[in-house]
Structure 1
């Protein structure tokens, strides 16, 4: 089995259509990683999209399909440490003393007593709940009595002071202890949505759906083509479909076009319906035109595009409606002839 076949088995076109519909509906431009539980990497926006679209496939399969279509691009957002033994990301990070390897260390302040000039660590000055200079024994009453010079680490086990500490990890799941060079690093990602590619995918799939659904009903569907009207004018279409005496012209209008141009073209549909009175016309447009009636009439079937899933259903209904119309006309002709 080729990798292409595996891809087709993993994600059906109808499933990817529903995912893209949900992407558009949610208006997502980016899908980022989040963390839950024991540092489990989750892509909550993607989970929501899959749930809303009713697609129950592995997230990686969907991402692979979206990447293949160019709908999303993948960027590495970061890396997390995972256990080299069980590959789990549920890790505890522990700072250790570079001298004795103890984990009983803490960051502390380097302080200088203003009066006597003694310099030491905050732990040296602490006495019960007060700050007392270990050199001159005076109490430090306010922040004006001392100066903070910096920060450093202090080991309670060996009393060493150091600026650079060591790190080790412990896996919560299997208990494995390991150091930085033994750790495995797992990437997590940010997925950016390419809105131009989303639009291209929707138009391409909409056209594929037209071909598929009309072909299922027995129509011979051809890309392009024209239908000659009663006026002698040939009207061009994106697709033409024929079956016996039925001829259908299918036109996509307004996908990426300017509003004024769409409005003018929609206004000309009435004349088109008269000139092609012996044919059927299917108009697909992505928006409602407020000043032009967008309901189907006579031999003109207008589909206002909202989503790929809805479009697939409406194309099936339109093909069925046209077939039913001509079936009734034939039955009427038979009765009249009898």
Structure 2
């Protein structure tokens, strides 16, 4: 398939710049993947589409305030680092801007010396390997000095860092939020559980490769970035029991979906494990675990719109997206939601 098969025209004013005051008050477009039928509602009413015995799988990763702005020691030139992943201890892989200042041996300071960094290596792709120096606990220092790494299409400042976290976020390590989960409140999760729906968690630390454009014409030639995941014994047990009893597995977000499909075998079973996934899901893929998906509205020609097209059909998805534009749904990270069932 061609990249352009997943293009749609999106007016810039439909890109959400702020989260809603009430997380669960986002609009919800429901798409029946078998019939193509579409209806509209409010996210807080999603419980009516759920059934006792279903299992909902959420990604409990927590976004690091991974954007650090500092200065070069000595000259004072400004530098910005974006933490991508921890290599080991205080050594991280990062993006640096401007890169010409970030050469091996150079040191940088943040927060008037509360945190310093030394460039150890420049990788072939231009990413920098750096080592941090500080007193105390790194996460606390980062929490004080770092900013949320909002996607480039969000121009507005975020006053409350927690609005770019899910209410159930727990395991720190992401460079971006699993945004489908931003619609849930604790009250809505309890209402879902009260209906007899199982709620289980996995962890996939979202990398910035999520926003990397597909630069090849034939999508089969695209290479996905790798992200680290973990699934517990308890979550695996509940997922497997649900499948055996004929219940649905509902993934919350493409990150949960990719993790489940990475771990699942051809018999529709999962095992507790951790590892790295670079799975690329696009039309033609046969789902092993996921039956339904809660997701946001994604960028044109992105790997994420290709994933949802694999689940619901490319024609159904493009029809739904064009309708969402016509109905002025809010798009991307702080936007509205879609339920594919």
TM category, shorter: under 0.3
More helix by share: 1
> TM-score, normalised on structure 2?
0.26
Structure with larger Rg: 1
